[in-house]
Amino acid sequence: MYILMNRRSFIAAAGLLSAGLPLIAGPDRQQHISRFSKRLRPIGRVLESPGYYVWCNSPIFGDDGKVHVFYSRWAAAKGMSGWIKGSEIAHAVADRPEGPFRYVGTVLAPRPGFWDATTCHNPLIKYVDGQYCLFYMGNSNGKTNTKRIGLATAQSLNGPWERRDNPLLETGPPGAWDDHCTTNPAFVMAGDGTYRLYYKSWNTHDYEHSEHPSIRGNRKYGLATATRPEGPYSRFDDNPVIDFSNRGDNAQFEDAFVWREDGKYFLIARDMGVFNHEVGLIMESDDGIRWSEPLIAYHSLKDYVDEPPAPAHLKRYGRLERPMLLMRNGKPAYLFCAAQGGKTMTSSAFVFRVDDA
C-alpha cells in the first residue's frame, strides 16, 4: 500500500489545503486509493527533447519487438500553451519501455486549408483489423471551438500514413452538452465486436460563462459507436456517459484512456476536482456506459520522485497528465504520463511499470 507519510507529502497536502482543494486524509483516503495505484513502480522521465514540449505519449509494441511512441510536441519558444496552435505528432522508438527513445520523424503536422490546419495533438495509437489506427485531435483556427477528432491509418508503424480529409466526429447541435468541440479520443473494441469512441467535450455557454475562469466549462465524456474504426460514428442516445458536474465545485476530469480486460471496461484519467488536481482517477464498468465511483489511480509526481523547485513558467509542475497504457497480452504493462519539467524545463514523458495484479 502506498502511504503518504514523508515530509514532501506533508508539504504537498498543506499546499492543497491552502489552495482550497479537497484532500482526503487518514483512513478515508486509503479507502479511495485503487489497487491499480499500488501496482505502479516509477521508472523516470523519457523523451526529454531539447527545444520542445513533449505531451500525449501513446505507446505500442511493434512487430519488431520494440516500443513505439506517438506523441505531441511543439516548439519550446511557443510556451506551454503552444499546443493549441502549433503542435505536431511525432514518432519515437526504443528497445525497452524504459528507453532511451530515438526520434524517428514527424508523422502528422498541421495542414493549411483543412480541419487540422493549426494543430495536431492528442495522439492515440491502436492496432485494429490488420492496420494501425492513429486517432488524434486537430483544429483549424488555433482555438478550442474547432477541435475535432480525426484518424490516420497505415499498414506499418513506420507509415506511410493516410489521413482522412474530414473529422470522425463533429460537435453536437447548438445548446447540446457537446456543442463546443470533440477531443481527447479514447478507442476500444466492445464485447460485441463493434467499436467505441469515447470523447471529451463541453457546452459553449458553460465555457463562456464559467464561475471558475481558470477552468472554463465542465468537461464531460460522451460515446459514439461504429462498425469500422473509420466510421461512420453514431452518438449514444444517453450521452454524456460520465458527468461529474453534479458533484459541485466544477468537478470534472479529462485525458481518458479506456481498455477492456477480463470482460470489464476500465478508464484511467486526470482528476480535475473530484479529489484534487494532482492525482489520476480510475473507474470500471460492466458495459462501458454505467461507471463506478472514481478511485485514485496515481498520485502527484512529487510523491514518487524528488525534482527541482517549480520554475515560474510551468504552472502545472508536479502533475501527471495524459495517462496512456502500454498493453501486453491485453493487460497494462507500463503507464506513460506527461509531466512538465525535466532537463530542459519544458515537459516530457514519465513512465511507470505496472506490476502484475
Please state whether beta strands 52-61 and 220-226 pair in parallel, antiparallel, or not at all (unpaired). unpaired
Residue 28's CB is within 10 A of a number of other CB atoms, namely 8
| Averaged pLDDT of the chain | 92
Q: Give 201-235 pLDDT, tens digit per residue.
A: 999 998 988 777 777 899 999 999 999 999 999 99
Which positions ≥6 away from 348 have C-beta within 8 Å? 45, 46, 47, 48, 49, 54, 338, 339, 341, 342
pTM above 0.75, yes or no: yes
Which positions ≥6 away from 275 have C-beta within 8 Å? 22, 23, 24, 32, 281, 294, 296
Q: Give 99-120 pLDDT, tens digit per residue.
A: 999 999 999 999 999 999 999 9
Read off the pLDDT of each residue in 300-322 and give the average, rounded to a whole number.
96
Whole-number pLDDT of residue 214 = 72
Residue 100's CB is within 10 A of a number of other CB atoms, namely 11
For residue 15, is pLDDT > 70?
A: no
List residues bridging with 325 in a β-sheet: 335
Whole-number pLDDT of residue 111 = 98
Please state whether beta strands 148-154 and 162-163 pair in parallel, antiparallel, or not at all (unpaired). antiparallel
Q: Give 174-196 pLDDT, tens digit per residue.
A: 999 999 999 999 999 999 999 99
